[in-house]
Chains A and B, each alone.
Chain A
Amino acid sequence: MATIASSTDMGSAQEARPTRTPAFEKRLAKRYRSERTFKFLGQAAIVFSVSVLIFLLGNMLFNGIGGFQRAELAVPIDLPASGVTGDEVSLTAPSAAQTLEMQGLPDVVEFYAVEALGEQGAEQISRDAWRDVADALSADPTLIYRTQTFQLPASSDLAAGLDGEGSPEIQALAKQLAQEGKLGENWDWGFLSRSDATSPQQVGIWGALKGSILTMIVTLLLAFPIGVLAALYLEEYAPKNRWTDLIEVSINNLAAVPSIIFGLLGLAVFLAAFPSFRSAPLIGGMTLALMTMPVIVISGRNAIKAVPPSIRDGALAVGASPIQVVFHHVLPLALPGMLTGTIIGMARALGETAPLLMIGMRAFVATPPDSFTAPATVLPVQIFLWSDEIDRGFVERTSAAIIVLLLFLLLMNGLAIYLRNRFEKTW
């Protein structure tokens, strides 16, 4: 714009030749107008994209906050008078829940619930509420000598009633209990430590999260070494021939193949080879490793390319062998860049859903997986499964799970950016 402005100034200085005719002025105004329109379009595109992002994240956050809470009923239980007994040893034993059930804890809980909430209110305590009491006793055995008010999960009907949904009777009941201070939305930290369940009041994401972690460990252990070694070979040693070209073409293509195709591969090859490991983190991790490896190879090659040749020449000049040059000098210098690429690839794998659906990681898994071969599900698949649930309570839970997933992705990407800024060298 500056150049144009000065040229018109010069034009007006030379009065002899009338460059600034009315027609010219008109054209100029039109050109400036289109310039402004164009710039405005650019701004609009940016504003739209950013506002979609803000809307998306805000929407998830807004819904998700509710997902970290749950409607709970306050029930005071006089445990010393209840006839339930136990000591530190029996209450912290793994079979504590069974022992307590045999001593009639469910009936005790129901009795005090009726006492505190009335018949109608007690019906709205979820059936497994005594388990929460049992868990609290395991965590703190001294509770057995005291009268304690327990916050027990309400049924999902009552929870919906509290949100102003459902039948008028249940809404009235919820309103009444809430006014008496017996029903309220409490922070539900158990959401982070429980697993999948059939009722939105009882679900948690620890099972899916643990599945994700196990799957990611397998992916990392397979994709990182293979990716780094392949990148070193292709960049440093590979002779220029048809085989090398074939490897390069396959890596570039694999990086662009839709992820669902990797799921088909996992189904047809891995599951055919290990049919008993259906929906195991091992198979999921192997499938995702194949998907992540090309990403690591490509970013790794760029990191290796950035190491200046003078380093190699210097090492060769003092008598290092080609392997020593690479493993003593090039690899340490390229490693931060490779790690950045790896973390980004892993973040992509963590958010991936479709290939894992193909290999059966969509089962209902109510206990956290305890090994690489146990049936498991992962966070994104859990989100997908919950989003299919009809119960309204799952909407908030799904958003809460999405927040957890996004937090992990943010953490990983933040780490990648930190590594890039901290270790990146410009030669």
Chain B
Amino acid sequence: MSPITLIIIAIGLGLAGWLAGRAKAWSFQKATPDARPVARPIYHAWYVAVWVVIPVLAFVALWSFIAPQLVTQSVLASAGAQELPSFGFERDAWLAEAQAVAKGQAPGVFNDGAQALVEPFREAINRYNWIGVALIVVIAFGGGAFAFVRIRPDFRARTSVERTVMIVLLLASLVAILTTFGIFASLVFETVRFFSMISPGDFLFGTFWSPDPMSNPDNPDGTRYGAIPLFWGTIFIGAIIAMIVAIPLGLMSAIYLTQYANPKLRAWVKPALEILAGVPTVVYGYFAALTVAPAIRDAALALGVTNASTESALAAGIVMGVMIIPFVSSMADDSIAAVPSAMRDGSYAMGATKSETIRRVLFPAALPGIVAGIMLAVSRAIGETMIVVMAASTAANLSANPLERMTTVTVQIVKMLTGEGSFDHPATLSAFALGFVLFLVTLALNFIALRVVKRFREAYE
């Protein structure tokens, strides 16, 4: 029986407990209408429901792990299992097939040997379904009865229910820490495994990147794991080309929208920029690969550059820059809006023109915020994946020519993990090391940027 059915059963039992608790609390009120109960009947109802649902859910979580193993064990003990091959792949395949047939997921077995196992499987699944449901009912009844007995006019049901609510709230907010910890732990774990095969020096300072997923994993060639070309490609595409596009355009559109544009234009252009920000990256990637990259190559060929590639760094970088424009614009918008209007008015009072005020007063005053915004934009650009996966190359190249092919950290992560490589191979594990570097760099950029923004806000408040 699927966990969803079990959860629905749990909720149904909880509802029954809820009604029973409320009925009992009501009966107290009816018996002595003058006495004031400590808690309203609805809290008694919730109290019983909590005591039913939480133990049952805990059991369901446990049971959904245990039950399949119990089923398999009892099938292996049955008479039909004597025919099973003793080890390995074939054995697993037979078991899986018989199980699928027994569950009604497959019409029939492929291997005849598995046919004998279908009936035991069906029986075992049936048996353990009933055992599971019976245990659920027993647990629900036990929890419910415990809570039900405790309901008395002077029982503080509300405090008890509220304590549970508080614990649930705390657990929900701990999910964030758990996620951060999970990311950190999984990246560190796999990175350490990678560094036990490839020395960190080779990885961080080598200039040749060409891992071979088919090579012998026991004796990896450390010289093929030099990540400098990847770091350079990432910086060149994300932090240089993209920013050359995004910073002037984003800044100027923010300035124009906040300082010059009339409200009507603003009301039209701001949503348009938001749409630009909401376009999925895979669409940008498709646009870059199909429209921008060939156009750039043709333009380069027309100008007499012969080695221009359709997977040039320039195409990916430009489209990435366009993607970042709204982000830079909204960050700059916020920082300019945070500058006190007294400063602007003062500048106007001295006879400065609008552009002089913007360039000499507003911009310098907003600079820390803008710089922080640009740092956030860079961190977003270097972590961006789909545009570079679709438009940039997979070949590592250490070059400063934007028309050449170049690859980035994210492209290599995708390449290494979507291939056929085994999980114990350094080529696959290198993806985690690259991910770890990416994680640390974006974390550092964000951390510094948020600090700067915070201090900058405080300065004007």
Contact = CB atoms under 8 A, between A and B. Distances in A.
B276 A49 contact: yes
A417 to B, nearest CB: 8
A407 interface: no
A269 interface: yes
Given A237-B169, A250-B179, A260-B414, A42 B252 contact: yes
Interface stretch (A74-82, A119-127, A310-318, A346-354): A346-354
Interface string B231-259: 00000000000000000111111011101
A409 B276 CA distance: 12
A395 B438 CA distance: 33
A355 B383 CA distance: 12
A262 B414 CA distance: 13
A401 B25 CA distance: 57
A38 B356 CA distance: 9
Contacts of B353: 1, 4, 31-32, 34-35
Interface string A240-265: 00000011001111101111111011
B177 A1 contact: no
Interface in A332-363: 347-348, 350-354, 357-358, 362
Contacts of A297: 176
A208 B386 CA distance: 18
Nearest to A251: B176
B282 A321 contact: no
A1 B354 contact: yes
A95 B272 CA distance: 50
B256 A46 contact: yes
Contacts of A59: 287, 291
Contacts of A387: 285-286, 289-290, 390
B410 A354 contact: yes
B435 interface: yes
Contacts of A409: 278-280
A277 B414 CA distance: 20
Interface in B358-386: 358-359, 376, 379-380, 382-386
B383 A261 contact: yes
B275 A3 contact: no
A357 B385 CA distance: 11
Contacts of A56: 279, 283, 287
A322 B442 CA distance: 38
Contacts of B386: 353-354, 380, 384
Interface in B337-360: 348-349, 351, 353-356, 358-359
B383 A258 contact: yes
A197 interface: no
Interface in A254-287: 254, 256-262, 264-265, 267-269
Contact of A3 (B183, B248, B349, B450): B349
B322 interface: yes
Contact of B279 (A227, A384, A406): A406
Given A1-B354, A269-B182, 6 more contacts: A253-B180, A265-B179, A323-B162, A383-B283, A387-B285, A387-B390
Interface of B: 158, 162, 165-166, 168-170, 172-177, 179-180, 182-183, 186-187, 189-190, 248-253, 255-257, 259-261, 269, 272-276, 278-283, 285-287, 289-291, 322, 325-326, 329, 348-349, 351, 353-356, 358-359, 376, 379-380, 382-386, 389-390, 410, 413-414, 417-418, 431-432, 435, 438-439, 442-443, 446-447, 450
Interface of A: 1, 3-4, 7, 31-32, 34-35, 38-39, 41-46, 48-50, 52-53, 56, 59-60, 225-227, 229-230, 232-234, 237-238, 246-247, 250-254, 256-262, 264-265, 267-269, 290, 293-294, 297, 321-323, 327, 347-348, 350-354, 357-358, 362, 380-381, 383-384, 387, 395, 398, 402, 405-406, 409, 413
